[in-house]
Structure 1
């Protein structure tokens, strides 16, 4: 896999990756019907296309030449807000998420920290972030998770 900037031609594959990954991750938390509603809204082609042109952002894909195996989207300046990082379930644990994370960080050379919100029940994601130097912060998440609780906020300081 190699990491590159996403383009419009990638959006159908990125949407399919997000739908598959969200169902694999969140069906047990939110229920399949709610996951379908969320992915239809948040991961529509129009929604993804809007991210391609968003200022102060980076939209990446991990590609092996045959398929898109992962994606990441972040925005920011001194503080990177990691909005999405997903790897196909059958490719998780192979370093693709780490490659995407490294490239996101490199895309924001002025950044002093990176922040992510995560659903409390998404233990695999929490383990990934902690393994990559993130620590839970005292911040309250902007979003509400499945149980009506704010999402957990993790931050990682970056060396200038």
Structure 2
């Protein structure tokens, strides 16, 4: 059984490996394995994760069963929109998907921003499992944008929003 807890610096190597595995399973067919390896090496390195862990207006959580991490989530207050939290990452290892870990990670993250009245996220519309997950958890599509990140600039993304209690 996995329990959700705040991530610590000692988790970051495991989180990096988890993100590498989940990104390859999710995005190799969309972006190609080489591009996914390049992105994960940059975005999911321990130093990159450490910078997120240190951010003051954020929450970084992991699902831990005492032996391994089965999932992770990261959200932070949006820099350009007051009273809005932005869900940057929510990933569960493929072998543990559809067991409630993503739900539990998300349930924790949505309570961590008492001043926020909404949570936003961006998702590749071809990631059908993620789109279905977010729809089942109260998110609705509110717009479209494109990746602006190097490596996959121009890839269409859908913007989803969910009202929060704050």
The TM-score by the shorter chain falls in which range? over 0.9
In 2, distance between residues paired with 1:153 and 1:117? 5
Structure 1 unaligned blocks of 5 or more: none
Aligned to 1:99: 104
In 1, distance between residues paired with 2:158 and 2:8? 31
How far did 1:147 drift?
A: 8.9
In 1, distance between residues paired with 2:70 and 2:31? 24
1:57–1:142: structure 2 CA closer, same or farther, 3 Å change rule? Answer: farther
Q: What is the TM-score normalised by the length of structure 1? A: 0.94
In 2, distance between residues paired with 1:88 and 1:110? 31
Q: Structure 1 residue 110 and structure 2 residue 115: aligned? A: yes
* Alpha-carbon contact 1:62-1:69 (below 8 Å) kept: yes
Structure 2 unaligned blocks of 5 or more: none
**Count of aligned residue pairs for this structure pair:** 159
In 1, distance between residues paired with 2:29 and 2:155? 17
Aligned to 1:75: 76
RMSD: 1.6
Instruction: Output one character per residue of 1:41-95: Cα deviation in whole Å (capped at 9) or x when no partner.
Output: 0001100011111120000000011100000001016211000000000000011
How far did 1:109 drift?
A: 1.2
